[in-house]
Structure 1
C-alpha cells in the first residue's frame, strides 16, 4: 500500500509570484508561512480582502508594473523604476508619461510587432 501523498507547499515568494502580488506588502503570516497548492487555489478562487486590496491598489511587483505601463521589465529598469509602484503611481505615470516611458512603449510595441510577424511566418510556413 502506498503512503498518502504529502501536500506540495510553496515558499511565500513563489506563492506571491503566482498571485501577482508584491511579497513585502502581504500580511506577515503569508510572508512567514508556507502555502500549499490547495491553499493557493483557494486564494485564487476566493481571495481574502487583503489580496483584493493588494491587487487593486498595490504596491505591485515589477512584472505587473511593466504590464500596466506596456513596457518590458528591462524598460522599467532603464527608466529608473526599481521599486514597487502603487496603482496611483502607475496611473500618474501613464497619464503624464515621461520621455523614457514614451520611448520604452514604442520600443516594446515594435518588439511585439516583430514577434507577431515571426509567429505568423512560422504558422504560414508550417501550414
Structure 2
C-alpha cells in the first residue's frame, strides 16, 4: 500500500501559485497530499480557477506578471498582494518605477544570455583544444 506524502497548506498554495489567505478555509486547514495537489492542478475547482484568474496574487506571481524581479517589487514599495485588475492597470499606465524595473529585468536577462553563450563558446573551444593536443597531458 502506497501512502501519499502530505504538505502544509502554505506549501501547497505556493505550488499552486495562489495566496493562501485568499483560499477557502477548508484548504487552509489541515494538510494537502501530493495526490490532492495533483488533482487540484489537473482539474482545478472553481475557487482555484477564480483565484488564479482574478487574484489576489502572491508577490512572486505579481512580480512575474509585471515582468520584474521580486526585489524590484520590494524596491517599488508594493508589499500587499495585487489583483489581476490592479496589475493590468499598472501595465496599462506604467509608473516610472515599473518602467525602470522592467528595464533592469530586461538587462539582467540579456546578461544571463550573454554569459551562457560565452560559457558555451568557451566549453566548445576547450573541447577542441583538448582534441588538438591529444589530451595526453601530464
- 1:78 equivalent in alignment to 2:69: no
The residue correspondences of 1:1-127 to structure 2 (distance < 5 A) are 4-127=1-124
Secondary structure of residue in 2 paired with 1:123: helix
Separation in structure 1 between the aligned mates of residue 121 and residue 8 of structure 2, nearest angstrom: 43
- What does residue 134 of structure 2 align with? none
Larger radius of gyration: 2
Q: What do residues 18-48 of structure 1 show as CA deviations (whole Å, max 9, x unaligned)?
A: 0000110000011112100000000000000
Secondary structure of residue in 2 paired with 1:85: coil
Deviation at 1:6, TM superposition (A): 3.0
Q: What do residues 67-103 of structure 1 show as CA deviations (whole Å, max 9, x unaligned)?
A: 1100000100110110100000000000011111111
**Unaligned stretches of 5+ residues in structure 1:** none
Q: Which runs of 4+ in 1 moved over 2 A?
A: none
**Unaligned stretches of 5+ residues in structure 2:** 125-138
Alignment coverage as a number of residue pairs: 124
After TM superposition, the score normalised by the length of structure 1 is 0.94
Separation in structure 1 between the aligned mates of residue 30 and residue 117 of structure 2, nearest angstrom: 45
